[in-house]
Structure 1
Amino acid sequence: MDDPEAGTASSPVTAAELTEPPRIELRRLPALAAGAVRLARTAAPREFLLVAVLQALGGLGLVLPILGGRELLSRMLDTGSGTGQADVLWQAAVVLGLLGLIGLATAVAAARDDVLSELINRYAMGRILDVACTVDLEEFERPEFHNRLERASMSARIRPHQLTQGLGALSGALMGTAGVALALAAIEPLLVPATLLAGVPLWLAGLRSGQVLFDALFRLTPAERERSYLLELLTDRRSAKEVRAFGLGGYLRGRWERRTDERLAEIRRTARRRLRITLVARFVSGIALAAVLVPLVAYAARGGMPLADAGAAATAVLLLASRLRTAAAGTDQLFEAAPFVQDLREFLKERERPPALAAPAPAGFRRLTVEGLTFTYPSADRPALRGVDLEIGTGQVIALVGENGSGKTTLAKLLSHLYRPQGGRISYDGVDVAGADPDELRGSIAVLFQDFQRYLLPAADNVAMGRWERIDDQGAIEEAAAAAGADGFLDALPRGYRTLLGPEFAGGVDLSGGQWQRIALARAFFRDAPFVILDEPTATLDARAEYELFERLRTLLAGRTVLLISHRFSTVRTADHIYVLDGGRVAEHGTHDDLMAAGGRYAELFALQAAGYLDTV
């Protein structure tokens, strides 16, 4: 298939270029199967036990109908034995009853298996969410982490259950195979190993076919992530306006179609490979089975064994072959799911690793000191911060200014302990907090980022996300909204603070950008933390609202330490101390008057911005 994007920068990097798909070794299958059983027992102990018992009964129960059928056939053919018709009918009823019970057990097991599947899926997805919610934020900057997360999420939906299902089907089939083999051994022992050999090609094919499927989907992961992203762009409300404004619908749809064509082409190639493997295995297995049945029929035709025994033996051979095919199907499921489950287990090890012992975090600080702070994003080729030094005293308002890309937001993320410094240290009252529990440190910090989250939840919940443990404190929610100037429009909503925000769900009401920003600010106030970090807190507010808010900030945040990031120099001139960042370094710092007198970078930027305002008058 020709791809006009092939070889261009827009083509996705395949996972195979980053790492090779893991290979499933036969010696690791028992451990994977045991892990799947533990997962199923943990997720749904009752359903798993019930399904396992019913599958076992369905398998072992076959031996009785076979032996009973042989005896019944022998009596029916032995017309001279004087066997009564009532005895024959009674024995037939017993055989049919056993077959009915086996069918009932199989039906109940299949029905409960649907419930087991949902419970396993819920449990596996829950563990993935545990990893996603606790892994270092820096991991979200790595493409390989997103590839692993995507594969784990896809695998968790079906693969753990598929593995346990395949294991259950295999164990049930093996029990049935054992039962039929016992019955066949009672008739003609030599037929047992000969028939069992017919199942070996099917078993080997399952192993190879499962690896082929995993290899294909592993390679497709990055392209599949891009395809999902394009689909989101074409269907998301926030991107819909720009897609239409720039006429991007056809272009983005074309990219999605190309990625979909790539996926379909890979799936077709994989399906053909798997089909060839299956057909060859079944052909070889059929030849092996024919090599058992043909001599058996010829031997019976020459009178080498009673007709009843020959009929029962042929039936047992065919039934054993059927059980072997069922076992092979279970093996296919087992081998198909095993690579995905192994990949999932490797991802979940992020959560299983014992956490490093963290020292208790200080409740706050009188003075926060940053020394030689350095940080480079995983995808970047140069540091975002280089040897940054600064000091923040309790109760102070500290401002960070600088051009885009100077490192302001990165510094805020490190000071809020979302990222770990790669060099230098952050100290509270002279004590390095690198070894302290980051969750505890973040508990005393309120952060409002420029790209704040808009939760499609009731208005009160949007504010309460700042400290969800107090979500029922309606009085504090309303106080925080009033502090942010959001109480007026929230009270005016159709259901007040209980109104659902965002039009995506029924009954939801959308807000303006400035109203959303006031709610985000209220969320920061509701957190009621001693250290407040505000990253462009008025970016979407009009000039009057911005002026009124900054006039009130010192009153609203009295007694708290504030780190303020802003591009608008008029809003930071009253800060206690101003740090100017340039290229990831502190270029200069001081009060507004000091920096203006120095005539450096700050004075230059302030003058440029002031001139822009004067030119518009």
Structure 2
Amino acid sequence: MAEKTPPFWNGWKHRAAALRHVPALMRLVWESGPAVVAAGWVFRITASLIPLAMLSVSKWILDAVQVKTGGGSLPPEFWWLVALEGGLAILGGVLGRTTGFFDGLLADRFTRHVSVRVMEHAAQLDLTSYESPAFHDRLERARAQATDRITMIHAIGALAQQLIIVVSLSVSVLFFSPWLMVVLVLAVVPAFLGESHFAFLGYSLNLSQTPMRRQLDYLRVLGASKETAKELKLFGLGSYITGQYAELSDGLYAQNVALSRRRLAVGSLLSVVSSASYYSAYAYVIYRTVTGDLSWGSLQFIAGSIAGASANIQSIFATFSNIADQSLFLTDLIEFFRVTPTLSKVAHAIPAPRPIRDGFVFEDVSFQYPGNPRPVLEHLDFRISRGERVALVGENGQGKTTLVKLITRLYDPTAGRVLLDGVDLREYDIEDLHREIGVIFQDFVRYEMSARDNIAVGRLHAAGDDWRIRKAAGRSLAHDVISRLPQGYDQLLGRRFEGGVDLSGGEWQKIALARAYLRDAQLLILDEPTAALDARAELEVFQRFAELTAGKMALLISHRFSTVRMADRIVVLSDGHIKEDGHHDSLVAHGGRYARMFELQAASYR
């Protein structure tokens, strides 16, 4: 349901407040291309003087013709005036096209600049921001502003051009009759206010529809993607998803049509008022000419000035209203840039220790996600020492992945602290800390890039080191997979782009593991790293894993006890607490939670 529409004057209050963001937009515009902006404005200002110049030359020509028809002779410069008017017309056309050319250049440069700024800022924000639906709405609108706000930039340029034209033409109208100019302005004001009011209603409606539009995008992907195609066919979900999309889309359409109908009715009425005012002024000028008070040239000059001034005054009001309304949408972009990371950074952060001497220690750590009253971890004390391989086990939702996010400082604890070599993680430079940690999550990203680049994202500065990439692929067993591809390491992976080759889940997982090995970090974290591998491949991976992690810290999350038993220590998490901690054999002999889980899994293989 759409939000309740603010009162008319309240809408203007919001619109006026939003205009404060225009200077910030203009700074972004200038940053995107100073030379292009300057050239565009020079040509636009020059073009705005053409209408007055053409009306002046046209007046001289008509006055000369009137003298000729009255028995006089043409002045010697008459045909030069005709040529000058033609030249001005040609110049106006060239200037218009040139302005359009620079507007096109600016549109491309601005879109690139703002898109890069949005991506850079989004990359700086921490994981907490992405778990808020309100943030996703704001991010979605900010992405749209990267392309949509170019119309506002063009509108600002057009407004400046219209103002120059109106000022130059209004001088002649004011000289003829100041009251006539006042009538024209007053006639345009109602249309301006009406259009502005409905534009604000459109913004309010668009704002309220953002969550529904995101849902439409989700349903569109859900109903036509490779990942969902199997279940949609087997479960017969195609018509259900399509019906959901159609129902939601029809609701949005009905809201838009209702507003458009109101805008059509009111706008038509106000247009009649504006047109009647202009033609009343035009009729008055004709009357003065018929009575002999004005020459033919003066009639042409004043009528043209009135028409030009009237049209441009309406355009100014409409353009300014458009800028004010666009600035409401601009608020989303500027406010997005003002979102700051929730993870605090100290002024003089220290680099990560190289090498790590002691390891990581959790001291009385508790954590709960924003908006969720139930703590995921409570008063947790945990240690992973240098050179130690620790496995985390437990049922889903018990806090294993959350612990990983805390040790990698994707989150800060709600209470307690995480130490590295006796120093709170918050004291370290976060980017430098991440360089010493290699993580492969269960939901790792399948990059639609070449096989080489898919591995190189693990350590970007090694992207040109083919030997290191191949070595990492060999360690993860991905080399054999890549060798079978038509173009080897240059093969594009995935089906998004032409010529791409998709891999099986297990093959993708080997590629992801190669990233972790390429990173060569002091702490290696694998979250369900072999979930998609068969038993033989899993055994091979972990035989190599044991060798590769020798002398390093390793944190392993897995539901397969054949895997976790290779760890030096096994930690059992349940309800946010450590229930058991020890070696595989000792935990089995203890007969506790781990022993029961191990027995249940072992029994399934008998």
| Same fold per superposition (TM over 0.5) | yes
Aligned position for 1:42: 31
Asked if the contact 1:414–1:421 (Cα under 8 Å) also holds between the matched residues in 2, the reply is: yes
Question: What pairs up with 1:173-184 in 2 under 5 angstroms?
Answer: 173-184=162-173
Residue by residue, what CA displacement relative to the aligned partner does 1:390-415 show, whole Å, maximum 9, x if unpaired? 00100001111001111111111111
Which of 321, 341, 353 is 2:330 aligned to? 341
Asked if the contact 1:69–1:95 (Cα under 8 Å) also holds between the matched residues in 2, the reply is: yes
Aligned position for 1:513: 505
Residue by residue, what CA displacement relative to the aligned partner does 1:245-283 show, whole Å, maximum 9, x if unpaired? 222222111112222222222222232233344334323
Question: What pairs up with 1:410-559 in 2 under 5 angstroms?
Answer: 410-559=402-551
Compute the displacement of 1:599 (Å): 2.5
Compute the displacement of 1:226 (Å): 0.8
Asked if the contact 1:445–1:533 (Cα under 8 Å) also holds between the matched residues in 2, the reply is: yes
Tell me the distance in 2 between the aligned counterparts of 1:156 and 1:22: 24
Which of 78, 87, 100 is 1:97 aligned to? 87
Residue by residue, what CA displacement relative to the aligned partner does 1:537-572 show, whole Å, maximum 9, x if unpaired? 111111122223223322121111001111122322
Change (3 A) 1:196 1:70: farther
Compute the displacement of 1:86 (Å): 4.7
Change (3 A) 1:29 1:557: closer
Which of 329, 350, 359 is 2:349 aligned to? 359
Worse overlay, 281-290 or 368-377: 281-290
Question: What pairs up with 1:123-522 in 2 under 5 angstroms?
Answer: 123-159=113-149, 161-306=150-295, 308-350=297-339, 357=347, 359-363=349-353, 364-522=356-514
Asked if the contact 1:293–1:314 (Cα under 8 Å) also holds between the matched residues in 2, the reply is: yes
In the superposition, the TM-score normalised over structure 2's length comes to 0.92
**Which SS does the other structure have where 1:389 is aligned?**
strand
Change (3 A) 1:294 1:453: same
Gapped regions of structure 1 (runs ≥ 5): 1-13
Asked if the contact 2:137–2:210 (Cα under 8 Å) also holds between the matched residues in 1, the reply is: yes
1:68 pairs with 2:57:
yes
Compute the displacement of 1:229 (Å): 0.9
Asked if the contact 2:47–2:92 (Cα under 8 Å) also holds between the matched residues in 1, the reply is: yes
Tell me the distance in 2 between the aligned counterparts of 1:365 and 1:221: 50
1:122 pairs with 2:112:
yes
Tell me the distance in 2 between the aligned counterparts of 1:613 and 1:22: 68
Asked if the contact 2:493–2:502 (Cα under 8 Å) also holds between the matched residues in 1, the reply is: yes
Asked if the contact 1:207–1:332 (Cα under 8 Å) also holds between the matched residues in 2, the reply is: yes
Asked if the contact 2:352–2:436 (Cα under 8 Å) also holds between the matched residues in 1, the reply is: no
Change (3 A) 1:350 1:165: same
Tell me the distance in 2 between the aligned counterparts of 1:229 and 1:596: 46
Aligned position for 2:101: 111
Q: Which amino acid aligns with 1:413?
A: K
Which of 35, 42, 46 is 1:53 aligned to? 42
Aligned position for 1:3: none
Change (3 A) 1:85 1:300: closer
Gapped regions of structure 2 (runs ≥ 5): none
In the superposition, the TM-score normalised over structure 1's length comes to 0.91
Asked if the contact 1:70–1:308 (Cα under 8 Å) also holds between the matched residues in 2, the reply is: yes
Asked if the contact 1:206–1:336 (Cα under 8 Å) also holds between the matched residues in 2, the reply is: no
Worse overlay, 196-205 or 38-47: 196-205
Residue by residue, what CA displacement relative to the aligned partner does 1:40-67 show, whole Å, maximum 9, x if unpaired? 2111222222222222222222222222
Residue by residue, what CA displacement relative to the aligned partner does 1:434-459 show, whole Å, maximum 9, x if unpaired? 23222211110000111111112111
Tell me the distance in 1 between the aligned counterparts of 2:280 and 2:66: 27
Tell me the distance in 1 between the aligned counterparts of 2:582 and 2:308: 88
Asked if the contact 2:173–2:180 (Cα under 8 Å) also holds between the matched residues in 1, the reply is: yes
Residue by residue, what CA displacement relative to the aligned partner does 1:320-360 show, whole Å, maximum 9, x if unpaired? 11222332342243133211112211111226999762511
Tell me the distance in 2 between the aligned counterparts of 1:178 and 1:523: 65
Asked if the contact 2:11–2:200 (Cα under 8 Å) also holds between the matched residues in 1, the reply is: no
RMSD: 2.6
Aligned position for 2:21: 32
**Which SS does the other structure have where 1:466 is aligned?**
coil
1:570 pairs with 2:570:
no
Tell me the distance in 2 between the aligned counterparts of 1:280 and 1:331: 21
Asked if the contact 2:2–2:205 (Cα under 8 Å) also holds between the matched residues in 1, the reply is: no
Tell me the distance in 2 between the aligned counterparts of 1:22 and 1:433: 47
Asked if the contact 1:24–1:211 (Cα under 8 Å) also holds between the matched residues in 2, the reply is: no
Q: Which amino acid aligns with 2:492?
A: L
Change (3 A) 1:469 1:266: farther
Compute the displacement of 1:33 (Å): 3.0
**Residue identity (%):** 35
Change (3 A) 1:22 1:331: closer
Residue by residue, what CA displacement relative to the aligned partner does 1:100-153 show, whole Å, maximum 9, x if unpaired? 212221122123212211211111111111122111111111100110111111
Tell me the distance in 2 between the aligned counterparts of 1:227 and 1:406: 33
Residue by residue, what CA displacement relative to the aligned partner does 1:519-544 show, whole Å, maximum 9, x if unpaired? 11111000000100111111111112
Change (3 A) 1:30 1:66: farther
Change (3 A) 1:108 1:375: same
Aligned position for 2:590: 598
Asked if the contact 2:389–2:556 (Cα under 8 Å) also holds between the matched residues in 1, the reply is: yes
Worse overlay, 445-454 or 347-356: 347-356
Worse overlay, 529-538 or 27-36: 27-36
Compute the displacement of 1:487 (Å): 1.6
Compute the displacement of 1:156 (Å): 1.7
**Which SS does the other structure have where 1:373 is aligned?**
strand
Tell me the distance in 2 between the aligned counterparts of 1:26 and 1:336: 6
Change (3 A) 1:172 1:153: same
**Which SS does the other structure have where 2:502 is aligned?**
coil
**Which SS does the other structure have where 2:567 is aligned?**
coil
**Which SS does the other structure have where 2:427 is aligned?**
coil
Tell me the distance in 1 between the aligned counterparts of 2:130 and 2:596: 37
